[in-house]
Amino acid sequence: MDNILTQQEAMLRSGQISEVDYTLKLKLEKGSQEYEGETTVRFVYSGGKKGKLKVDFVSKKIEILWLNGKEETNYEKKESALFLSGELLAEGKNELKIKYKNAFDHSGSGFHKFTDPADKAEYMHTDFEPFEAHRLFPSFDQPDLKATYELEITGPSEWTYIHNTVPKSEETKGNYKNIKFNKTKKFSTYLFSLIVGPYAVWEDKAGEIPLRIFCRKSLSKYMDAENLFAITKEAFGFLQGYFGVPYPYGKYDQIFVPEFNMGAMENVGAVTFSESYIFRGPRIYSEYLNRANTVYHEMVHMWFGNLVTMKWWNDLWLNESFADYLSYYSMSNGKIFPDALEHFYVREEWAYREDQLSTTHPIAGKAENTLEAISNFDGISYSKGASVLRQLMYYVGEEKFRDAMRLYFKRHAEKNTVLNDFLSCMSETSGIDIRGWSKEWLETTGVNTLSPVRQNGRLFLHQGPSATNGLLRTHALQASLFREKNGILEEVWKKRILVKGKETLLEENYSGEADLLLLNTEDFAYAKTYLSKESLPILKRSLHTLKDRFSRRVVWGSLWQMVRDAELAPKEFLELALDQGLKETDLSVRNSHILTKALTVIDNYIPEAEKRNWSDKLNSIAKEKSLLAQNPEQEQILWFRILENTSKSPEQLSYLKELLDQKKSIPGITMDQERRWVILSRLSAYGDPESSKRIEEEVTKDNTDLGAKKAFLAQISFPDAKTKKESWERFLKPKEGDSTDFLRYGMRGFQWNHQKNLLVSYTDSYFNSVISVYETRDPHFASAFGHMMFPSFEPDPNLLKRTQEFLDQNKKLPELLKKDLQQQRDDMQRTLKVLEKYKN
């Protein structure tokens, strides 16, 4: 696989190339797996006619290539690039023109094509981050060679064509339409977009900014455009004023595209979203909030990432950390989701987990090539970076933080930046030299742990370093002391505290007994926090009486970190969850911090012999609670999910089947298509003899691509040696037309913990084939295979040993695979540590 650009190559090229612009002509045909292209690249060359110039380009066939008006055949073509001798180039202005044919992609990236089985409509979309634009057109595909683009496209007249700009002319002749789009502003190649197909469309305005929402016709009945427009308008209303720069790109389209690999992509003026955000049934509050956050996140990118772009992928955090934090912060200033920062606290768990893995890296990381860049789209670049920015805002003050953003955009609009550019702006506006802060936070790894300590009449907090380094940091945070009075926890004080070194004194003369000291209330600091062991009896009695919801979140978040770190017995957490947790009045707290965590504890952190007992308890509670007719819809959704997730015994599965056949019902729960597939997959996984016939019948009712994918998942879930063998072979050698997304659904059904005896033989198959998968398949498929097919049926010291030996014996593994396997190993080590400590 040579489809990689190194940082060294990019630096060399940006020293030789400047003033780039592209003119593209594309011709699309109905029913074809190919398209025609003609691209003209104009650029200024200053390379002294030495060596070769690399032009990134994946193509099926180059028909003719012209250089400065003359046909040229003396070039070298490789899989993902062509090379021109420096001697052929003119010093100064050059024009490269290539006429070519290319094949559509089916990996979700590049120029992806999808045919909707519901109505045979064809849809295409581009997805180019970090290094895929050259799949559509020859380019200098790196972020610091910003360019303008002028697109002309000819294709079937009934299709809609969406680009970064609006059309300047449109002409229809017979069955074909020719559209010429306005020339774009200057931006990086990975932000170019083209979306094509017979899309349904909704229109609105945010002030003077035209807004459009698109989704494919067969899903249009599920699109709640009104809600999405309201969120979009609120986001524009806040961000334009906050950044002090009007929206720079004219129009704003949001397109929900099929088989998208990520949540969304911030293409200039034409944001693409995963169709998982089109809800085919009612969802819980946090899911609506997460979707809104994605809308905000992509809009923040119009400034952070698009208007000002990192020079190279090592500074990815300049895009993602800011978008991650400022999206939640902006939402918290609006009326639709004012509690967004509480949900940001939930998201930070991603950062805490990844920062404790051996694969962690500094926020301002490194990316020697574009493949390594893909591996940096992780909890560090997003969530840890975002959390550290929240800490910085608390440290310097909200106004100074905002003023630094404004200066940054004013100074660097349409340019590329590095870490120091941001630090300079922040230092200037805050009056504090932020470089020291950067060295402490952006250029190091690991998370500190803060614990309350009572000793000799003094109350203080202790700071511990991460397991891999001895670094103690400066933390600005808030702490709250609560005292139990008449069975109710009441706040005694709340303080802003600056933590430095190992110990920070909170109270010199402290005599509290029945107290709860809660660290990092309102979540301003990036640090794991523990609760004192002395406060556990108080929590078991009175946690639900804590009035402040955010404080209750922080209590549960602290308990969860203690479980993962083997500082709190998993059974103690479960007992608390099934008592105090059920008294939690806020459903999103109950879902994210209590019930979801209880399921994780049952699956991972208690001995095999006890899992069924705890699962049965939770199943019984869910069944009982779900039958309360007075419950609101959101609560019913929650209980149904727990009920389904914990159904394992014949009796429990039989109840699910009765719900499926509508012989029994749960108040407020309709057996919609999503729920039907969920139940069918579980029945199949537990070997229900009717499941195969039921799946066949169901797929005729749900003739969508999602129906086909969920049927595939359900079929592969069946505990049958032949089914598993055939599906494994299909993952390694897909059938014609198998997209990455389709195969990913199948992988989700392959492994079920209770099928260990059937699956154990695939441990050898995994280690024998995984290197080849990462070397030959697209990164999205490879990563899905690496994670979902890893034989993690249950924690096993033998598997841990096997994984370590594989890493030791294969010193030149693909970087993505090495990282994925190291993370699997680290997770196993953590799980085994908890199980060993609390086995009795």
DSSP assignment of 507-557, as one string? ESS---SSEEEEESTT--S-SEE---GGGHHHHHHHGGG---HHHHHHHHH
pLDDT at 88: 96
Give the mean pLDDT of 433-457: 93
Q: Of 442, 463, 495, which closes a domain?
A: 442
| Percent share of the chain, pLDDT over 70 | 100
Give the mean pLDDT of 10-26: 97
As given in the structure block, the two tokens for residue 418 are 């590095």
pLDDT at 509: 83
Give the mean pLDDT of 273-302: 96
Flag whether 64 is in a domain. yes
pLDDT at 694 over 90: yes
Give the mean pLDDT of 378-387: 96
Q: Of 529, 551, 568, which closes a domain?
A: 568
The closest alpha carbon to 126, from 59, 182, 190, belongs to 190
The closest alpha carbon to 391, from 466, 341, 316, belongs to 341
Same domain, 340 and 465: no
CATH of residue 428: 1.10.390.10
The rounded distance, in Å, linking the Cα atoms of 838 and 840 is 6
- Using alpha carbons, list the distances in angstroms from residue 306 to 110, 214, 310, 377: 19, 22, 9, 17
The rounded distance, in Å, linking the Cα atoms of 141 and 4 is 10
- Using alpha carbons, list the distances in angstroms from residue 224 to 124, 563, 787: 22, 40, 33
pLDDT at 1 over 70: no
Same domain, 78 and 112: yes
Flag whether 239 is in a domain. no
Owning domain of residue 726: 719-839
The rounded distance, in Å, linking the Cα atoms of 322 and 303 is 10
Burial of 701 per CB tally in 10 Å (0-12, 13-18, 19+): exposed
User: At 440, is the secondary structure helix, strand, or coil?
Assistant: helix
The rounded distance, in Å, linking the Cα atoms of 44 and 47 is 10
Which residue pairs, CB below 8 angstroms and at least 24 apart, start in 671-679? 672/280, 672/281, 673/280, 673/281, 673/701, 673/702, 673/707, 674/280, 674/281, 675/281, 675/640, 675/644, 676/702, 677/702, 677/707, 677/710, 677/711, 677/713, 677/714, 678/644, 679/644
pLDDT at 378: 93
| Residue written as token pair 């060359």 | 45
Flag whether 704 is in a domain. no
pLDDT at 170 over 80: yes
- Using alpha carbons, list the distances in angstroms from residue 173 to 150, 154, 160, 167, 197: 22, 10, 15, 17, 18
| Residue 786: CB atoms within 10 Å | 21
Give the mean pLDDT of 764-788: 95
The closest alpha carbon to 144, from 113, 189, 181, 101, belongs to 189
As given in the structure block, the two tokens for residue 342 are 């509480």
User: At 782, is the secondary structure helix, strand, or coil?
Assistant: helix
Q: Are strands 160-163 and 194-197 parallel, antiparallel or unpaired?
A: antiparallel
The rounded distance, in Å, linking the Cα atoms of 340 and 293 is 8
Q: What is the pLDDT of residues 800-840, one digit of tens each?
A: 999 999 999 999 999 999 999 999 999 999 999 999 999 87
Q: Of 521, 538, 568, which closes a domain?
A: 568
Same domain, 433 and 462: no
The rounded distance, in Å, linking the Cα atoms of 635 and 656 is 18
Cα atoms found within 13 Å of the Cα of residue 154, Cβ hemisphere only: 10
Q: How are strands ordered across the β-sheet holding 503-507?
A: 503-507, 458-464, 449-455, 528-529
Same domain, 164 and 64: yes
For 174, phi then psi, to 5°, come to 60, -125
Same domain, 747 and 824: yes
Question: Which of the residues are catalytic?
Answer: 298
Q: Which secondary-structure segment (H or E) carries 773?
A: helix 762-776
Same domain, 311 and 434: yes
Flag whether 283 is in a domain. no
Flag whether 623 is in a domain. no
As given in the structure block, the two tokens for residue 484 are 């139990």
Same domain, 434 and 464: no
Q: What is the pLDDT of residues 640-686, one digit of tens each?
A: 999 999 999 999 999 999 999 999 999 999 999 999 999 999 999 99
Q: Taking every pair of C-alpha atoms in the chain, what is the biggest distance, in angstroms?
A: 90
pLDDT at 26 over 60: yes
Q: What is the pLDDT of residues 716-740, one digit of tens each?
A: 999 999 999 999 999 999 998 899 9
Q: Which amino acid, one-letter code, is at 605? A: Y
pLDDT at 693 over 90: yes
CATH of residue 179: 2.60.40.1730
By the 8 A CB rule, do 263 and 272 touch? Answer: no
What is the pTM (predicted TM-score) of this model? 0.96
Same domain, 84 and 22: yes
Name the more confident of 696 and 511: 696
Residue 786 per-residue DSSP state: H
CATH of residue 547: 2.60.40.1910
Same domain, 436 and 454: no
- Of the ranges 120-134, 368-382, 573-587, which one carries the lowest mean pLDDT score? 368-382
For 702, phi then psi, to 5°, come to -110, 85
Q: What is the pLDDT of residues 619-633, one digit of tens each?
A: 999 999 999 989 999
Q: Give me the chain's average pLDDT, please.
A: 95
Give the mean pLDDT of 758-776: 95
User: At 241, is the secondary structure helix, strand, or coil?
Assistant: helix
The domain tally of the chain equals 4
Flag whether 778 is in a domain. yes
Flag whether 590 is in a domain. no
Same domain, 478 and 410: no
Same domain, 404 and 451: no
Same domain, 479 and 431: no
The rounded distance, in Å, linking the Cα atoms of 293 and 289 is 6
Q: What is the pLDDT of residues 554-576, one digit of tens each?
A: 999 999 999 999 999 999 999 99
Cα angle 627-630-632, degrees, rounded to a multiple of 5: 95
The closest alpha carbon to 219, from 700, 704, 677, 675, belongs to 704
The rounded distance, in Å, linking the Cα atoms of 214 and 203 is 9
pLDDT at 406: 97
Flag whether 539 is in a domain. yes
